[in-house]
Amino acid sequence: MSIPVWMDMDTGEDDAIAIMTAFRLPELNVVGMSAVAGNAELDHTFRNTRNVLSLIGREDVKVYPGASQPLRQKLTTAANVHGKSGLASAVLAESKAPVETEKAWDALYRTAKEYQGELNLILTGPETNAAIAFFKYPDLKNYLKRILIMGGAAVGGNVIPAAEFNIWADPEAADAVFCTGVEIVMCGLDVTSRAGLTREEVAELDAYQNPACRLFQTCTELARKLYSEHHNETLLIHDACPVIYAAHPEYFTGTRAGVVIETRGTYTRGKTVTDLYTDTSYPLQQTIVVTDADRKAVADTIRIALETY
């Protein structure tokens, strides 16, 4: 039986690749999607999500608009990685799907109730929409199977040394989500930094001339520069990890732990503080902290997905 998932995204380059991967995983049934401000402003991330679905022939999947600002922080986008549009130099045809106006949090709640507790929520951007949904509908936690995120890091950070972008961008939202008690699968930088595409795999995808691979090539052009400056031998596709985990948890290694979110630190705002590496355990052990992956299995899943459109 396929796994019902809702994907809430700040569609930038790796979100776009995660979308194209998700729709090539027969184990998953994407029943709804929503957009949030993060990598780019909401109008870009909403449009990008719709247009990537259109590119892969899935205008039947509804996309709902969410928050244009974090709960308390001012919006900081990641144009250095994704470009102002969110998809670098990629130019996509405009989706012809009707433009949904129902808010992300309302649509998510309605759908979660429809799936009677079986819905898996995948978050690959700031967690603003999910937080608003939990605030507005306190019983939402009873209707979600689990939450799989790209976000956080047991060790390290990217946007600042202590924190990863999705959590740092809206730490209050992440705090609200991690306090719900819903089981969380945290695909943070610990695993995403170990699950990238090699130069050879990137070159193979670049050589394909189908629309999905052409999008891969154009939307990652800034990310490639960033990672090469950081001497990463691989191209990290962060957001593909929670998507692939939902279908193939066997590709990953994780440990149950407690995770709390720092919201006030001068140098540590947005840090996912975990009791994974300490003698002290937090009372709420709500998270599977994913720490490693079978890199080739993850890379092959992405590569085969994009090459077969």
- Lookup result for tokens 């009677």: 116
Output the smallest distance, CB 143 to Ca ion, in A: 24
User: Residue 167 Cβ, how far from Ca ion at the closest point, in Å?
Assistant: 12
Kindly name the residue from 44, 82, 231, 238 that is annotated as catalytic.
238
Q: Is 170 in the site for Ca ion (CB under 5 A)?
A: no
238 is catalytic: yes
Name the minimum Å distance from CB 279 to ligand RIB: 29
Interactions with Ca ion, residue window 236-255 (CB under 5 A): 239
125 binds Ca ion (CB under 5 A): yes
Any alpha helices (H) in the chain, and if so which ranges?
13-22, 42-55, 79-82, 104-114, 128-136, 165-169, 171-178, 189-192, 199-207, 211-219, 221-229, 240-247, 295-307
Task: Please report how close the Cβ of residue 238 comes to ligand RIB at its closest, in angstroms.
Answer: 4
122 strand-pairing partners: 7, 148
Residue 14 CB partners (closer than 8 Å, separation 6+): 124, 150, 220, 223, 236, 237, 238, 239, 240
Count the neighbouring beta carbons within 10 Å of the beta carbon of residue 229: 8
Question: Which position's Cβ is nearest ligand RIB?
Answer: 165
CB nearer to ligand RIB: give 143 or 219: 219
Instruction: Kindly state the number of chain residues that form the binding site for Ca ion, as judged by CB under 5 A.
Output: 5
- In the complex, the smallest distance separating the C-beta of residue 304 from ligand RIB, rounded to whole angstroms, is 22
Nearest to 4 by CA among 111, 128, 107, 137: 111
171 counts as binding Ca ion under rule CB under 5 A: no
Return the DSSP state at 94: P
Residues that bind ligand RIB (CB under 6 A): 10, 12, 14-15, 38-39, 78, 124-125, 150, 158, 164-166, 238-239
Among 73, 124, 193, 220, binds Ca ion (CB under 5 A): 124
Sign of the dihedral through C-alpha 136, 142, 146, 152:
positive
Interatomic CA distance for residues 252 and 248, integer angstroms: 8
Q: Which is nearer to Ca ion, 125 or 196 (CB)?
A: 125
Pick between residue 109 and residue 259 the one whose CB is nearest to ligand RIB: 259
For the annotated catalytic residues, the residue numbers are 238
In the complex, the residues that contact Ca ion under the rule CB under 5 A are 10, 15, 124-125, 239
